[in-house]
Amino acid sequence: MFLLYDLIFFLIALIYIPLYLLRGKMHSGLWQRLGFLPREIPFGRPIWIHAVSVGEAMSIRVLVSELRKMHPEKKFIFSTVTPTGNKIAKGLASAGDAVIYLPFDFSFIVRAVVKRIEPSVFILSETEIWPNLIRALSKRKIPIITVNGRISDRSLRGYSAIKFLLQPILKCIALFCVQTEQDKSRLEALGVGHEKIKITGNM
């Protein structure tokens, strides 16, 4: 299944990367997305939080503040996909933390990145599914938690269509913190056990 996913992702990349280059949208984070991380990646099993863009990055401010109080010894890694999200994440970082672009979800790239970072936990803001990254983290027994999770009508239709492919990935996630009872029900319909879902509201 994951080999097929790699192939599909590769075909999509072949189409979109040249388009980004032609439109001048390819930003300096390309090398990081290819797995070349900056030297200042913190050691000591940091807390890795991924927030795809501006909205998600802004929503995790309180979470980051509370985690710092609970784990003052920990450094943080923040990953984003968009340049604007990256800028917000830099405002959350403290001395010794790192802000990176999430690597492309090719198995050989994310395996190397996960091994390099070796986080104590990986936290996903909202419900994003990165199959190879989730699998790489799970194989190294790194807990994966989603926060502020939600399943829109559109996402539910898409996920339901590939439910048999999605279930092994969802099983790798240790805890789903979702916004509403409806989000909880939708995750259960996708095969997630109720004991792994907590309703925590909108951050």
Residues 11-25 as b or e (16 or more Cβ within 10 Å = b)? eeeeeeeeeeeeeee
Residue 137 neighbours by CB under 8 Å, 6+ apart: 114, 119, 122, 144, 172
Under DSSP, is residue 123 helix (H, G, I), strand (E, B) or coil? strand
Select from 112, 86, 78 the least CA-distant residue to 27.
86
- Alpha-carbon span 179 to 170, nearest angstrom: 17
Catalytic member of 40, 56, 66, 188? 56
Q: Is 126 a known active-site residue?
A: no
Which are the contacts of 52, defined by CB distance < 8 A and separation ≥ 6?
80, 81, 82, 85, 102, 125, 126, 128
Write out the catalytic residue numbers.
56
